[in-house]
């Protein structure tokens, strides 16, 4: 059949040829305005680091690209944009380290990244590229800020930051190592209070949580988000002092109220001042000062030894009527609940430790089976299965869950309590006392106060600043550039001052998916019509490392814009799947570990298609795995085999040979393969989709295939090895792109075999296999099974006691 000389598969020339063709033909372009079946295929845009693209990026993008190509072949109009997330402390620190300005560095990095991404063969529509550092982009980031400000969701508030006295600058939490500065290992990091901008995300907590239940998202991602939101149901209860002060505590265990033997307030609690007695004042003040100086990280995760001071005052336990001492301790945090707790040392581990250290009374109020009111407590017993209330007159014997409601209700009746829900989620601080970010578009005027920059004056361009090193002013380096921050007030015209902090990088990425379809527009952030047409995003694939911040903030911004009437959906991502992590030698790839794998060398040696498929074949896409290059040759061998099949059965032969020449078995296998590849590709089971194609190719080579059996293979391969598939498609006699071919259909009836192998078990053990026609009825199957010599050996001719028959599968005797 093959008259031509065999041309070996040369990935380099094939890939060069098709990348050029795609560009010339606009193969990857989406018709945004005219699409009839829009499918927005999104992948998390990269931070263009100086090291260039790494294997983890390729793994992520290829997996997403396969979805995009697959949906396109299935008939959708796919829009697959890409961009670069290049603002932020990461870029800034790197720039400081190498002594090159980020404005110079970033475009170079982007250039390199774009080149690498193109070589991978993504179906990206580069006409809609976005760069967060481009004033044409961040103009609209600032606009988003103004919309949230308008909605009352952006507020300025005093908040603590980490401060390194040696660097004289604000540190991010990750720059604080065990309470010390990462650059000055012997300098203790302190806490400083600064005025900062916050987005009030907390009122959205319940909505953000509720939508997770129905979201088509990875299970792991939903769990992580739900934990981060951290809903807990409890009650606020009031303890009164003899002086008439009401101390409100939050507890999730109101049922243990009778065991509350003391109160603890956060050292910063506003009531502490008034509660402290004269003789305790010196100690209390010293303790409060010590805690105030502590850096934010140590306060929460540092040494957990319990410390605290007695205020000298007492309050009345509303259940027992007893007087309980009021303490302060750093283990109680001002930002959670009411900043005050009732301590139940018998049933809370921290309270137990504190009570033991301070010699405070410990009382049992819950007893499990086999315990009673007097069973001693050697440690806190927090979760007692089947626990019942004891030592609590009026509630004794009650299951604790029931007592929770009963005690809360009883206190509510006396105006001393109510059920309350708390969330761990904190408001989002977006102020950064840094240079490399979009300036927050606010102007402060002595007369008019806080004035938002009028939208017509956007963007507030980040000025070129030669020395952008942070300094000891506690504000952004922009505060050094008087010519920039001195501006007339937009309201009254008098001299005013710009906000000199820039916004958090996470704000840049919290709305970029809205920007892509309108990336070519300068008059709007996002066009209403295009947004309605293309959003919410149909498929979003990215790493779980962004499960918390990026995804949460994107959802919040979208909800806020929805509430402002600017978009008509509340959730930005209809479907989200987290890909796994590619590690190397069991560890995350990082430059400091020296285990970063650069994809270029692999693309050079094997070609993008082989490399793409290899990464997808490593293991389940949603699990990731350890990168080893052993085995990459297996993929290449597979592609060579396909190449050979195309060579032999392609060209004019493809059409000439009808399916007449195809054996029934091979035809069935083709349908079965199409079914498996279709289902597995849709569910991101790329490794098994590839395995199915391999099995098919092996079968074609063992049999006598017709060209019509080879053709569908080129289309099935297109999402995985796009250049290769194009070349095969052309060699099969087609003149248009394989990406414009229709995904092959399978006939479920043809995909199943006519003859099946029936497994015969005796007492649950496999003893024989019978070939029998599909649909063999029970009587016939059992008869055949009993007649089988190897079955006879075990039944010894005896009549079966019981028979289990699963049609077309097995007979168990």
Partner RNA sequence: GCCCGGGUGGCGAAAUGGCAAACGCAGGGGACUUAAAAUCCCCAGGGGGCAACCCCGUGCGGGUUCAAGUCCCGCCCCGGGCACCA
| Measured distance CA(714)–CA(649) in Å, rounded | 12
Q: Scanning the structure block, which residue is given the tokens 């006879």?
A: 792
When the beta carbons of 297 and 390 are compared against RNA, the nearer one is: 297
Please name the residue ranges forming H helices in 549-705: 549-563, 599-606, 608-617, 632-649, 652-656, 664-682, 686-702
When the beta carbons of 502 and 693 are compared against RNA, the nearer one is: 693
When the beta carbons of 494 and 769 are compared against RNA, the nearer one is: 769
Q: Tell the smallest beta-carbon distance from residue 325 to RNA (Å).
A: 17
Residue 625 in contact with RNA, rule: CB under 7 A: yes
SS3 at position 633: helix
Q: List C-alpha distances in Å: 60 to 111, 200, 536, 582, 612.
A: 20, 32, 21, 9, 10
| Measured distance CA(537)–CA(556) in Å, rounded | 15
Q: Tell the smallest beta-carbon distance from residue 399 to RNA (Å).
A: 18
Using alpha carbons only, what angle is made at residue 609 by residues 603 and 612, rounded to the nearest 5 degrees?
A: 80
Residues 388-427 contacting RNA, CB under 7 A: 422, 424
| Measured distance CA(686)–CA(681) in Å, rounded | 6
Residues 215 and 202 sit within 8 Å (Cβ to Cβ):
no
The correct pick among 20, 698, 736, 778 for binding RNA (CB under 7 A) is 698
User: What x/- string results for residues 232 through 271 when contact with RNA is judged by CB under 7 A?
Assistant: x-x---------------xxxx------------x-----
Q: Tell the smallest beta-carbon distance from residue 228 to RNA (Å).
A: 6
**Could you count the other beta carbons within 10 Å of the beta carbon of residue 710?**
25
The correct pick among 309, 348, 504, 609 for binding RNA (CB under 7 A) is 348
Using alpha carbons only, what angle is made at residue 791 by residues 788 and 793, rounded to the nearest 5 degrees?
A: 115
Burial of 282 (C-beta count, 10 Å sphere; 0-12/13-18/19+): exposed
When the beta carbons of 106 and 547 are compared against RNA, the nearer one is: 547
Residues 303-332 contacting RNA, CB under 7 A: 303-307, 330-332
Residues 523 and 25 sit within 8 Å (Cβ to Cβ):
no
Instruction: Pick left, alpha or beta for residue 244 (phi over 0 → left; psi -120 to 50 → alpha; otherwise beta).
Output: left
Residue 482 in contact with RNA, rule: CB under 7 A: no
User: What x/- string results for residues 284 through 303 when contact with RNA is judged by CB under 7 A?
Assistant: ---------------xxxxx
Residue 545 in contact with RNA, rule: CB under 7 A: yes
| Measured distance CA(308)–CA(305) in Å, rounded | 10
| Measured distance CA(49)–CA(95) in Å, rounded | 11
What is the bridge-based pairing of β-strands 442-445 and 495-498? antiparallel
When the beta carbons of 259 and 441 are compared against RNA, the nearer one is: 259
Residues 248 and 340 sit within 8 Å (Cβ to Cβ):
yes
When the beta carbons of 165 and 620 are compared against RNA, the nearer one is: 620
SS3 at position 145: helix
**Could you count the other beta carbons within 10 Å of the beta carbon of residue 440?**
29
When the beta carbons of 332 and 589 are compared against RNA, the nearer one is: 332
Binding segment for RNA (CB under 7 A), chosen from 149-157, 443-451, 453-461, 804-812, is 804-812
Binding segment for RNA (CB under 7 A), chosen from 27-35, 558-566, 622-630, 734-742, is 622-630
| Measured distance CA(344)–CA(330) in Å, rounded | 17
| Measured distance CA(439)–CA(420) in Å, rounded | 38
Dihedral angle, C-alpha 738, 578, 233, 249, nearest 10 ° = -130
| Measured distance CA(415)–CA(613) in Å, rounded | 66
Q: Tell the smallest beta-carbon distance from residue 524 to RNA (Å).
A: 35
| Measured distance CA(723)–CA(70) in Å, rounded | 15
| Measured distance CA(401)–CA(745) in Å, rounded | 56
Binding segment for RNA (CB under 7 A), chosen from 488-496, 527-535, 692-700, 740-748, is 692-700
Q: What are phi and psi of 464, to 5 degrees?
A: -70, 125
Nearest to 531 by CA among 206, 222, 213, 140: 140
Q: Tell the smallest beta-carbon distance from residue 644 to RNA (Å).
A: 8
Q: Tell the smallest beta-carbon distance from residue 172 to RNA (Å).
A: 14
When the beta carbons of 502 and 642 are compared against RNA, the nearer one is: 642
How many chain residues touch RNA (CB under 7 A)? Answer: 85
Q: Scanning the structure block, which residue is given the tokens 């507020």?
A: 155
When the beta carbons of 337 and 744 are compared against RNA, the nearer one is: 337
| Measured distance CA(307)–CA(51) in Å, rounded | 46
Q: Tell the smallest beta-carbon distance from residue 752 to RNA (Å).
A: 13
When the beta carbons of 100 and 202 are compared against RNA, the nearer one is: 202
Residues 361 and 260 sit within 8 Å (Cβ to Cβ):
no
Binding segment for RNA (CB under 7 A), chosen from 228-236, 448-456, 526-534, 715-723, is 228-236
When the beta carbons of 417 and 438 are compared against RNA, the nearer one is: 417
When the beta carbons of 464 and 587 are compared against RNA, the nearer one is: 587
When the beta carbons of 317 and 338 are compared against RNA, the nearer one is: 338
Q: Tell the smallest beta-carbon distance from residue 80 to RNA (Å).
A: 26
Q: Tell the smallest beta-carbon distance from residue 742 to RNA (Å).
A: 26
The correct pick among 55, 326, 690, 732 for binding RNA (CB under 7 A) is 690
When the beta carbons of 742 and 789 are compared against RNA, the nearer one is: 789
User: What x/- string results for residues 626 through 645 when contact with RNA is judged by CB under 7 A?
Assistant: x-x-xx-xxx-xx-xx----
When the beta carbons of 325 and 536 are compared against RNA, the nearer one is: 325
Q: Tell the smallest beta-carbon distance from residue 458 to RNA (Å).
A: 34
What is the bridge-based pairing of β-strands 587-588 and 581-584? antiparallel
Give me 759's structure tokens.
Answer: 């497994």
Instruction: Pick left, alpha or beta for residue 280 (phi over 0 → left; psi -120 to 50 → alpha; otherwise beta).
Output: alpha
Residues 763-802 contacting RNA, CB under 7 A: 763-767, 769, 790, 793, 802
When the beta carbons of 407 and 496 are compared against RNA, the nearer one is: 407
User: What x/- string results for residues 559 through 588 when contact with RNA is judged by CB under 7 A?
Assistant: -----------------------------x
Residues 702-741 contacting RNA, CB under 7 A: 702
The correct pick among 685, 728, 732, 785 for binding RNA (CB under 7 A) is 685
When the beta carbons of 232 and 285 are compared against RNA, the nearer one is: 232
Q: Tell the smallest beta-carbon distance from residue 153 to RNA (Å).
A: 21
Burial of 728 (C-beta count, 10 Å sphere; 0-12/13-18/19+): buried
The correct pick among 695, 741, 752, 800 for binding RNA (CB under 7 A) is 695
Residues 601-620 contacting RNA, CB under 7 A: 617-620
Residues 97-156 contacting RNA, CB under 7 A: none
Binding segment for RNA (CB under 7 A), chosen from 195-203, 277-285, 500-508, 542-550, is 542-550
Give me 29's structure tokens.
Answer: 């372009």
DSSP category for residue 589: -
Please name the residue ranges forming H helices in 277-329: 281-293, 296-301
The correct pick among 687, 741, 792, 800 for binding RNA (CB under 7 A) is 687
Q: Tell the smallest beta-carbon distance from residue 175 to RNA (Å).
A: 16
Residues 747-766 contacting RNA, CB under 7 A: 757, 759, 761, 763-766
């Amino acid at each position: 059949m093959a008259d031509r000389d065999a041309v070996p598969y040369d990935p380099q020339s094939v890939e060069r040829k098709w990348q050029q063709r795609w560009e010339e033909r606009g193969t990857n372009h989406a018709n945004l305005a005219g699409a009839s079946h829009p499918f927005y295929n999104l992948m998390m845009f990269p931070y263009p680091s100086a090291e260039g693209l790494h294997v983890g990026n390729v793994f992520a993008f290829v997996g997403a690209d396969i979805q995009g190509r697959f949906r396109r072949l299935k008939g959708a109009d796919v829009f697959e944009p890409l961009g670069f997330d290049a603002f932020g402390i990461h870029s800034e620190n790197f720039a400081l380290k190498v002594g090159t300005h980020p404005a110079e560095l970033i475009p170079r990095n982007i250039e390199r990244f774009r080149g690498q991404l193109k070589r991978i063969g993504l179906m990206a529509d580069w006409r809609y590229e976005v760069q967060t550092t481009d004033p044409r982009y961040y103009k609209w980031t600032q606009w988003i800020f103004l919309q949230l400000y308008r909605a009352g969701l952006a507020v300025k508030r005093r908040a603590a930051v980490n401060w390194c006295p040696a660097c004289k600058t604000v540190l991010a939490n990750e720059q604080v190592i065990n309470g010390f500065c990462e650059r000055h290992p012997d300098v203790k990091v302190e806490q400083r209070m600064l005025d900062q901008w916050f987005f009030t995300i907390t009122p959205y907590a319940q909505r953000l949580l509720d939508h997770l239940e129905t979201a088509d998202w990875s299970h792991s991602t939903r769990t992580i988000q739900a934990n981060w939101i951290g809903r807990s149901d409890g009650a606020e209860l009031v303890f009164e002092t003899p002086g008439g002060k009401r101390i409100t505590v939050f507890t999730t265990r109101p049922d243990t109220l009778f065991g509350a033997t003391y109160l603890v307030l956060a050292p910063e609690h506003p009531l502490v001042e008034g509660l402290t007695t004269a003789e305790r004042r010196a100690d209390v003040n010293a303790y409060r000062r010590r805690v105030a100086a502590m850096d934010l990280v140590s306060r929460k995760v540092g040494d957990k030894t319990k410390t605290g001071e007695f205020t000298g005052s007492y309050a009345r336990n509303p259940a027992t009527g007893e007087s309980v001492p009021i303490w302060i301790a750093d283990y109680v945090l001002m930002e959670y609940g009411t900043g005050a707790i009732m301590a139940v040392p018998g049933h809370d581990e921290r309270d137990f430790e504190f009570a033991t250290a301070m010699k405070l009374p410990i009382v049992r109020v819950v007893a499990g089976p086999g315990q009673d009111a007097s069973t001693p407590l050697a440690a806190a017993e927090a979760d007692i299965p089947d626990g019942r209330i004891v030592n609590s007159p009026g509630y004794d014997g009650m299951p604790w869950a029931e007592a929770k409601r009963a005690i809360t209700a009883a206190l509510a009746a006396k105006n001393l309590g109510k059920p309350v829900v708390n969330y761990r989620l904190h408001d989002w601080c977006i102020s950064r006392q840094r240079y490399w970010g979009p300036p927050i578009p606010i102007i402060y005027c002595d007369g008019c106060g806080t004035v938002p920059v009028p939208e017509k004056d956007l963007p507030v361009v980040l000025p070129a600043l030669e020395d952008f090193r942070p300094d000891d002013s506690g504000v952004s380096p922009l505060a050094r550039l008087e010519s920039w921050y001195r501006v007339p007030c937009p309201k009254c015209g008098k001299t005013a001052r710009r906000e000199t902090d820039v916004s958090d990088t996470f704000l840049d990425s919290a709305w970029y998916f809205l920007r892509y379809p309108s990336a070519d527009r300068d008059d709007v952030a996002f066009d209403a019509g295009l947004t309605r047409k293309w959003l919410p995003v149909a498929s979003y694939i990215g790493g779980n490392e962004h499960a918390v911040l990026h995804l949460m903030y994107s959802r919040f911004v979208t909800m806020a814009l929805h509430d402002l009437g600017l978009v008509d959906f509340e959730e930005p991502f209809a479907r989200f799947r987290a890909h796994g992590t590619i590690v190397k030698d069991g560890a995350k790839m990082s430059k400091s570990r020296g285990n970063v794998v650069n994809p270029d060398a692999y693309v050079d040696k094997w070609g993008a298609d082989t490399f793409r498929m290899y990464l997808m074949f490593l293991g389940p896409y949603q699990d990731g795995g350890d990168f080893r290059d052993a085995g990459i040759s297996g993929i290449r061998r597979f592609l060579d085999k396909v190449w050979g099949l195309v060579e032999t059965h392609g060209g004019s032969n493809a059409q000439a040979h009808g399916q007449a020449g195809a054996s029934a078995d091979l035809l069935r296998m083709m349908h079965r393969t199409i079914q498996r590849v279709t289902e597995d590709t849709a569910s991101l089971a790329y490794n098994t989709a590839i395995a199915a194609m391999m099995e098919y190719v092996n079968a074609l080579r063992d049999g006598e295939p017709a060209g019509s059996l080879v053709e569908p293979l080129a289309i099935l391969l297109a999402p995985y090895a796009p250049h290769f598939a194009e070349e095969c498609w052309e060699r099969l006699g087609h003149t248009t792109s394989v990406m414009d071919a229709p995904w092959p259909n399978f006939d479920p009836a043809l995909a199943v075999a006519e003859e099946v192998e029936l497994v015969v078990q005796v007492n649950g053990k496999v003893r024989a296999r019978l070939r029998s026609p599909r649909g063999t009825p029970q009587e016939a199957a059992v008869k055949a099974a009993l007649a089988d010599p190897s079955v006879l050996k075990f039944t010894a001719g005896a009549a079966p006691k019981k028979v289990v028959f699963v049609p077309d599968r097995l007979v168990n005797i």
